Structure 1
Amino acid sequence: MASNRRAFLTATATVTATVTATATATAVGVLAAVSAPAAAGTAPDTAAAALDELLAGNRRYAAGRPRRPRDIARHRRRLAAGQHPFAVVLGCIDSRVVPELVFDQGLGDLLCIRTAGQVLDEAVLGSIQYGVAELRVPLVLVLGHERCGAVAATLDHLRSGTPVPGHLELLVAEIAPAARRTRALPGDWAEHTVRAHTAWVRDAIRADSAFAAASVVAARFDLDSGLVSLLP
């Protein structure tokens, strides 16, 4: 099942690459130009503003100057009537990479989907589509991170060739192609795999017409500095 899904997404990405190359390059250029952070209490309503707010919040987090949480009780009551998140973050389940903390956001700000190694499956894709199509979220950010356990397990499997137990097989099957593509590169194989896999997940989401209304970017979280950097 995993291989079929990956084959479909890869084929889709290939077919649409030529058509979307110019638009994608333009979108990335716009998103990378970070402007002033959103005013307090104002939810970003464009992809560029949403990315600005995420990166500004991350800088606050990394510097140890977070603004969240706000008055949670009052804010929770206000949110009970409806939610208006400004970004979907697809990240890893790693306990050190909590999107609301990493981006210094609060209740109602983010739709967070977390799987080991930010691996895609149909539930993840459906959850992203809910945010984009139903809640009109303008930005999807795929967040990888250094020293990812799912990546480490994949590399161990490729080195040893031992069978992968149980449900972990899906994770390894999804991450292994990025690991194989980067195996011959000089330097840290795990780091190359994290970056390649995170970028692949971004590209697979971009290639799916269900998410055409949103901008999709990829980023890497540094456990040591606490900073998030965008991936090309």
Structure 2
Amino acid sequence: MRRLLLVFLLFASCLSSAPPKEPNDREWNQLMKEYAWIESLRKAQPVPPPTASRKQRIEATLENHRKLETVYVAFVDKVKEYHDRTRDLRAAGLLAREKVIMGDEYMNLLSRYDKALEFYRAALQLDPGNADIAQRVALAEGRRYVSMLAFATVKIGMKEDEVRAIVGLPREDWIKQVVQNGRVYSVWIYPKSDGGASAIYFDNGVVYHTNWNAAAAPAAR
């Protein structure tokens, strides 16, 4: 009888020490404390001045990520484990928010629209009713390839900001630039859905030429 009682007590002890499988405020509040700390670390990172070049902003962002990587990855792993175990919608929303933040950096800073789309779609899976994320998915899908309609609205004499508002900014390695006789000539290259590319040419930041068929699509096999 004593042996059975001991076995029962040990079994009950194991059950009581197992992590809960239901959403609970105790774990969630602890995660929120850690998240507040992560947010404070983010805000403490240096911000490039408004006059910083795109390259400088990219380098600063990557350096900030590098400094926070260890604590950030550990925190996200905790949230994932809690979410997978409890299916707490609050955790799903937090994970979705973090994916949106990463997607925004790929979208707005790096112009890596395919990568941004991966993050936005993953966020939408976690938070399927979020209209804001759905809009980001649609925007990223529209920016993956330049459309003929949008490209046709780019006119000679437009400035870089106007062009960016219409067709977006290409990724950094698709912008070519040369300085000649005191003038800055640049070309922005945009991929097309057929595998070819279009190009917009600038002289000191002002459009002087556009070419829808700057690079032909690969020959069909």
TM-score w.r.t. structure 2 length? Answer: 0.29
Q: Which has the larger radius of gyration?
A: 2
The structure with higher relative contact order (CA 8 Å, sep 6+) is 1
TM-score w.r.t. structure 1 length? Answer: 0.28
Answer 1 or 2: which has greater helix percent.
Answer: 2
